Structures are given as structure tokens and as C-alpha cells.
Amino acid sequence: MSTIELFWPALSAGLLVALVAGPLGSLLVWRRLAYFGDSLAHAALLGVGLSLLLSIPGWVGISMVCVVVALLLGVLLKRPELASDTLLTILATTSLSLGLIVISLANGIRVDLMAYLFGDLLSLAPQDLPMLLAGATVILALLLWQWRGLVLASINEEMAAVDGVPVIRLRFLLLVLLALTVTAAMKVVGVLLITALLIIPAAAARRLSRTPEQMAVLATLTGMLAVCAGLAGSLQWDLPLGPAIVVAAALCFLLTSLLRPGPAR
């Protein structure tokens, strides 16, 4: 297999994930919900384990677990008994540990755990792309459809509710879209690095943006640039691809910090 045949599915898939991660990551940055991505990413490993035990397609198990955990988070975080960061840490570490235990129980099944933890984008085949494209299209369509309400709720939920924005419904929609994006991004950068792909491009774009729309577009372009740079670095220096993409995104963030210093909130 030639280098082009090996890399073009990886490049296409990485760009599709970056296309979705840009606007979604921007919403997470505005809402200060970066920890949500971590919690769902760790839960994805539990979905992997259940998929192996039940002999179902991996994406089915991962998406089901992530959606359930997202809805659970949406309910639990409305309760005042525990701080959100405490609850998210408990859920993230518990789901990750459960995932590892379930995978260990899958007797007779060899699992490349490193691929799940750090991604295995080069294993994507051309026939995997239509499903990824369909998923990205649905997520982007829903984001565009509810963009104004999502932005208003991200800025100030109380004021948005007064204006008639269905903030509770939009909060759950955002979490479900995040769960589906985590399912897609897991193949690109793995469980441990998914949040970085969502948050770092958005944080870099925030320093250069004047409007929510500018930030979403710049975050998407930054994520795409990181995917291309990570693939190029992996090809040139034989680097692990998922971490290379994240490091490329971090370099973009550093560059924007030098160009326009200011607090990345």
C-alpha cells in the first residue's frame, strides 16, 4: 500500500472530526465545560469493553455509553450537593476503571489498548469514511439549527431563559452532540487526548476572535491545521499520530498567545 493510500483516509477523517470539534469546542469553552469532554472520553473506554463482551460494533457500544453518561451528567450536575468538578472527576475515573475491568474480562479477545487510549487513525479504511461523514453532517446540522440558542445559553443561561430560550433542552442537546463527537474522535486521538482536540483549538481561536461565529470558524481551521501538521510530523519522523496532532494544536495555541497575549478563559 502506498503512502497516499494509507494517509488519505486518515487525513479525511481527521479533517471531518476537526470540522465538528471547532464549533462544539467553542461552546464548551464559553460554558467552561472542558471537564465534560474528559468525563465522556473516559466513559468511551467502557463502551469499548461492552462492545467486545457483547460482540457488537465498537461505535455502537461507545455511542450508547457516551450518550447515557451525557444524559446522566446533565441530571446530576443540576444537584447542588457536590461541586461539578468533584462529580466529573468521580465519574471520569470510575468509568475509565470500569472500562479497563470490562476489557480485561473479554477472554480470548486481543485488544490494542494503546490504540484506544491514544488513537489509531491510520487504521481507518476508506469504507469507514461514509459513516463518519454522515455523523459529522448530522452534528453540524444540529449545531447550525440551534446555534443562536446555544450561544445565548452559553453566555448566560438565566438571561437566555428569560428571553424564552429552552436552556435545559439545549444543555442536553449539547451533551449528546459532545457524546457523538467523542465517539468519532476516539479513533483520531484516543480516549486520553479527545478533550485536547476539542478545547485547545477553541482556546487558541478565542484570542483572535471578536464574535462567536469567528471563534467557531477559527477553531475549526486551527483543528484542521493541527491534523495536517500532526500527520506530516508522523510521516516525517515516525511519531505517534494522536499525540502529534495534539502537540500541533498546542503549538498553535502558543503561537496565538505570542501574537495576542491575554487570558484564555
Average pLDDT, the chain: 85
pLDDT band at 264 (very low <50, low <70, confident <90, very high): very low
Superfamily of domain 3-259: ABC transporter involved in vitamin B12 uptake, BtuC (1.10.3470.10)
- Got the DSSP string for the chain? --HHHHHHHHHHHHHHHHHHHHHHHHHHHHHT-HHHHHHHHHHHHHHHHHHHHHT--HHHHHHHHHHHHHHHHHHHTT-SSS-HHHHHHHHHHHHHHHHHHHHHT-TT----HHHHHH--GGG--GGGHHHHHHHHHHHHHHHHHTHHHHHHHHH-HHHHHHTT--HHHHHHHHHHHHHHHHHHHHHHH-GGGHHHHHHHHHHHHHTT-SSHHHHHHHHHHHHHHHHHHHHHHHHHH---HHHHHHHHHHHHHHHHHHHS-----
On the question of pLDDT at 204 being above 90, the answer is yes
On the question of pLDDT at 111 being above 80, the answer is no
pLDDT digits (tens, 9 = 90+) for 47-57: 888 888 888 88
| Percent of the chain surpassing pLDDT 70 | 91
On the question of pLDDT at 109 being above 80, the answer is no
The residue-averaged pLDDT of 138-146 equals 94
| Percent of the chain surpassing pLDDT 90 | 29
The residue-averaged pLDDT of 38-62 equals 85
User: Which of 57-71, 103-117, 152-166, 194-208 is the least confident region?
Assistant: 103-117
Better-scored residue on pLDDT, 103 or 1:
103
Q: What was the pLDDT predicted at 265?
A: 47
The residue-averaged pLDDT of 26-30 equals 90
Specify the pTM.
Answer: 0.89
The residue-averaged pLDDT of 154-168 equals 85
Better-scored residue on pLDDT, 77 or 234:
234
pLDDT band at 15 (very low <50, low <70, confident <90, very high): very high
pLDDT digits (tens, 9 = 90+) for 205-261: 998 888 999 999 999 999 999 999 999 998 889 888 889 999 999 999 999 988 765
